[in-house]
Structure 1
Amino acid sequence: MEAEQAGLRNTLHRNGLRMTPQRQLVLDAIAELEHSTPEQICAQVRRRASGVNITTVYRNLELLESLGLVTRTHLGPGAPIYAVPEHRHVHLVCQRCGATEEVGTSVLEPLAGTLRERAGFVLDTNHVALTGRCAGCVRNDCV
């Protein structure tokens, strides 16, 4: 944990920034919640520091994402979710019932290989959302 914190501080320092208490609280909240919207992150942060507002959370999320310290994924309508980059998987989001399932990024390896081979495109598979219909909706023939 100390090495991880030192790495975060080094990343911030290299970019002329410092680890503020608010940044630390936002990072801690993301790590604790695993997947979270800005509103959920703000609620978690406020448990420790009631004076932190949603604008501060959004500003810090934007900065932390630009530095590669957090990832943002859109699972559909509504707010994006944030996670630490080490939390890698593919979200399978049902367009009918809204259920979300996680699968390993290895399921995208064939697609990533095809895209690289045919288009020279390198797919970022670290945090991806795919939409469709879940097994339950397919089984129940929900349309």
Structure 2
Amino acid sequence: MEELAEVLRSRGLRLTAPRQLVLEAVYRLRHATPDQIHADVAERAAGVNITTVYRTLELLEELELITHAHLSHGAPTYHPVGEHSHAHLVCRGCGSVEELPTSTLDGLSGELLDTRGFRLDIGHVALFGLCGKCAPEGASC
């Protein structure tokens, strides 16, 4: 969490317990909604309310320590930045989320850039379908 302290200090901000707890929860949970992060933080510190969690998530994303993706129709899902960039495979059957290496989308990303001048933000990409356990054998989408 030294990185968080340094980033905050460089912006004239303090490292508070709620900020540290929220960042730790994001790293621990990997892909979590604000409510899930709040529940995790509340197990460790009773006084942190959901509004503080939302504000902290917004700040941490602004500081580029975390990012979010929309993996369902509900709240965004937050995950750490920097370890490795990835897209998401989301099963509509069981709700599982798998990380997909960005290299898998290199062809699509390159084609979009070449043909449309569009730069794909792969960290926000979520592909929806059915995982191997939920898809009927031999079925195609």
Q: TM-score, normalised by structure 1?
A: 0.83
Q: Specify every segment of 5 or more residues in structure 2 that has no aligned partner in the other structure, as ranges.
A: none
Structure 2 residue 75 is the aligned partner of structure 1 residue 79: yes
Q: Distance in 2 between matches of 1:140 and 1:94?
A: 17
Regions of 4+ moved over 6 Å: none
**Cα RMSD (Å):** 2.2
Report if the CA contact (8 A) 2:70-2:124 is conserved: no
Structure 2 residue 52 is the aligned partner of structure 1 residue 44: no
Q: Distance in 1 between matches of 2:131 and 2:76?
A: 21
Instruction: Name the aligned partner's letter for residue 57 of structure 1.
Output: V
Report if the CA contact (8 A) 2:67-2:79 is conserved: yes
SS of equivalent residue, structure 2 residue 73: coil
Q: How is 1:99-110 mapped onto 2 (pairs within 5 angstroms)?
A: 99-110=96-107
- Matched with 2:115 is 118
1:41 CA displacement? 0.8
SS of equivalent residue, structure 2 residue 88: strand
- Matched with 2:89 is 92
Instruction: Name the aligned partner's letter for residue 44 of structure 2.
Output: R
For the structure 1 residues 103 and 74, does the alpha-carbon distance in structure 2 shift closer, same or farther, using more than 3 Å as the test? same
Q: Distance in 1 between matches of 2:111 and 2:63?
A: 29
For the structure 1 residues 62 and 12, does the alpha-carbon distance in structure 2 shift closer, same or farther, using more than 3 Å as the test? same
Deviates more, 1:125-134 or 1:102-111: 125-134
Q: Distance in 2 between matches of 1:6 and 1:94?
A: 36
- Matched with 2:49 is 53
For the structure 1 residues 111 and 55, does the alpha-carbon distance in structure 2 shift closer, same or farther, using more than 3 Å as the test? same
Identity of aligned residues (%): 52
Q: Specify every segment of 5 or more residues in structure 1 that has no aligned partner in the other structure, as ranges.
A: none
Q: TM-score, normalised by structure 2?
A: 0.84
Report if the CA contact (8 A) 2:60-2:66 is conserved: yes
